[in-house]
């Protein structure tokens, strides 16, 4: 681990600020991790398909299917980076990106394709001739695509949220894209990204017949060692960093940090709950943002704090802010729920249970009038700690059946952390319930 003095000295030369800029940019949602782990066969398949399109003018189509966060975009970006590493291929390949959440119908999608292919000026010429409707724009685009041959510039169509395009009227866009990919015209590759396993069933018969039925299924199969490698890679500085000595010290510190017991424990908990890279980036954002001249290096405690922040129970946290009366009502409701085997209870039952508790404790617990208790009960409902069991508003509010939305563990945790919580209330919570 490097000495603190050297870090502070380098921070004065704005090295620390540059570190934050690099890491924040890397952790942003727009940044895509291009090094792929555990998806070698899928990557080879997609890379072979892309190379045949770019180098040999072979049209094709494929679907990349996997759950959210499994690395579909990362896989595609990694393949594109390798394909574009060839200068000729980079200059030759045209890319069109569409998203089912943005291009909600074929008309909008066609406009976006026209814009990205820079056919706007040509389209203006057609408008002077009286063209401009959806059908005419489609015909113009198809003519432009069909007028080429295998020597034309290859075009890559990336359809993110592919299943949403299947809901467009008549699936006209998909039909025409797949139709061109089956012909010996302009070489195009249509790559769909989706998380729906049954996406093929959404396609019409005529669209299915023109689709190549290539499906690349991916699942997040990262091992914990690979997960730690990604952790180190994200936090490490690039070799192009202006201060070489600082970069080496920082990277060495990150490696040592990844082997510390506390860091490993935190990473293991995160790995077992959600091992996708997007979640890891969200987890690392807080420690990176905390870097300052006074706190000039990452520590294991930063990762522990970030983990606690991300895994915080919102309901339990909300219980820390309610009044003692409201806590009493929640405990009374919990006791009644146990007594009646989980059946809903109403305000009158909760109020009677609360009165019994106050009478047992005498003057040590303040007794509130019924309207005040009802107001506190309604406040708990507004906080969504309770909800109506029937969903309706027909019965009087005092007799409306209600369900408790927090469990015993959350209540116990809130009572332990509640400031100046009366001992009688804690004891009441732990008492056994008898019919």
What's 384-400 look like in SS3?
Answer: CCEEECCCCCCCCCCCC
Cα–Cα distance measured from residue 192 to residue 24, given in angstroms and rounded to the nearest whole number:
29
Cα–Cα distance measured from residue 145 to residue 167, given in angstroms and rounded to the nearest whole number:
24
Predicted local confidence at residue 18, as pLDDT: 86
Tokens of 405: 């939305």
Strand partners, 216: 64
Predicted local confidence at residue 164, as pLDDT: 93
Predicted local confidence at residue 142, as pLDDT: 78
Model-wide pTM > 0.75:
no
Please count the CA atoms within 13 angstroms of the CA of 208 that sit on its side-chain side.
Answer: 8
Mean pLDDT by 10 residues, the chain (435 residues): 43 73 80 69 91 87 89 88 82 88 89 81 46 70 71 86 91 88 82 92 91 89 86 89 86 91 90 84 89 84 86 77 88 88 88 88 79 91 85 73 85 82 85 65
Strands 60-65 and 188-194: parallel
User: What is the DSSP code (8-state) at residue 345?
Assistant: B
Burial of 359 (0-12, 13-18, 19+ CB in 10 A): exposed
Q: Which of 274, 78, 76, 34 is nearest to 193 (CA)?
A: 76
Predicted local confidence at residue 126, as pLDDT: 46
Find the DSSP H helices in 84-195. 87-92, 106-116, 120-128, 134-146, 162-165, 172-181
Please count the CA atoms within 13 angstroms of the CA of 28 that sit on its side-chain side.
Answer: 8
Q: Which of 434, 428, 435, 431 is nearest to 354 (CA)?
A: 428
Find the DSSP H helices in 320-388. 324-339, 347-361, 370-382
**Mapping DSSP to helix (H, G, I), strand (E, B) and coil, where does residue 128 land?**
helix
Burial of 101 (0-12, 13-18, 19+ CB in 10 A): exposed
Predicted local confidence at residue 45, as pLDDT: 92
How would DSSP label each residue in 282-314?
HHHHHHHHT--SSS-S--HHHHHHHHHHHT--H
Question: What per-residue string of b and e applies to 189-198 under the rule 16 or more CB within 10 Å gives b?
Answer: bbbbbbbbee
Q: Which of 191, 165, 166 is nearest to 101 (CA)?
A: 165
Cα–Cα distance measured from residue 298 to residue 169, given in angstroms and rounded to the nearest whole number:
53
Question: What per-residue string of b and e applies to 44-70 under the rule 16 or more CB within 10 Å gives b?
Answer: ebbbebbbbbbeebbbbbbbbbbeebb
Strands 386-388 and 215-217: unpaired
């Amino acid at each position: 681990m490097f000495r603190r003095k050297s870090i502070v000295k380098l921070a004065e030369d704005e090295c620390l600020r540059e570190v934050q800029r690099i890491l924040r940019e890397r952790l942003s949602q727009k940044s895509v991790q291009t090094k792929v782990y555990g998806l070698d066969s899928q990557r080879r398949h997609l890379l072979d398909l892309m190379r045949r399109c770019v180098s040999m003018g072979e049209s094709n189509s494929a679907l990349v299917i996997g759950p959210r966060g499994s690395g579909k975009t990362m896989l595609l970006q990694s393949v594109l980076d390798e394909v574009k590493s060839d200068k000729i291929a980079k200059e030759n390949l045209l890319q069109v990106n569409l998203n089912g959440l943005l291009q909600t119908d074929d008309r909008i999608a066609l406009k976006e394709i026209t814009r990205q292919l820079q056919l706007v000026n040509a389209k203006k010429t057609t408008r002077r001739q009286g063209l401009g409707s959806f059908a005419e724009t489609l015909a113009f685009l198809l003519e432009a695509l069909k007028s080429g041959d295998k020597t034309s510039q290859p075009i890559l169509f990336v359809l993110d949220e592919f299943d949403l395009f299947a809901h467009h009227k008549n699936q006209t866009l998909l039909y025409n894209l797949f139709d061109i990919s089956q012909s010996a015209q302009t070489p195009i590759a249509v790559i769909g990204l989706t998380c729906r396993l049954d996406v093929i069933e959404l396609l019409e018969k005529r669209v299915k017949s023109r689709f190549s039925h290539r499906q690349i299924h991916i699942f997040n199969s990262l091992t914990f060692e690979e997960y730690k490698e990604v952790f180190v890679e994200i936090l490490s500085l690039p070799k192009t960093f202006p201060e070489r000595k600082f970069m080496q010290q920082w990277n060495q510190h990150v490696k040592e940090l990844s082997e510390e017991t506390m860091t490993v424990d935190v990473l293991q908990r995160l790995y077992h709950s959600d091992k996708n890279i997007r979640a890891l980036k969200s987890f690392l954002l807080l420690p990176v943002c905390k870097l300052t001249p006074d706190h000039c290096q990452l520590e294991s405690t930063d990762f522990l704090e970030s983990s606690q922040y991300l895994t915080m129970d919102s309901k339990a946290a909300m219980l820390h802010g309610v009044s003692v009366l409201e806590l009493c009502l929640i405990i009374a409701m919990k006791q009644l729920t146990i007594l009646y085997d989980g059946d809903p209870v109403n305000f009158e039952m909760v109020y009677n249970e609360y009165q019994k508790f106050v009478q047992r404790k005498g003057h040590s617990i303040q007794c509130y009038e019924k309207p005040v208790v009802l107001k506190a009960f309604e406040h708990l409902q507004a906080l969504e700690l309770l909800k109506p069991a029937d969903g309706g508003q027909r019965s009087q509010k005092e007799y409306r059946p209600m369900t408790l939305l927090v469990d015993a563990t959350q209540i116990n945790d809130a009572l332990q952390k509640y400031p100046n919580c009366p001992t009688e209330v804690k004891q009441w919570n732990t008492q056994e319930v008898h019919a």
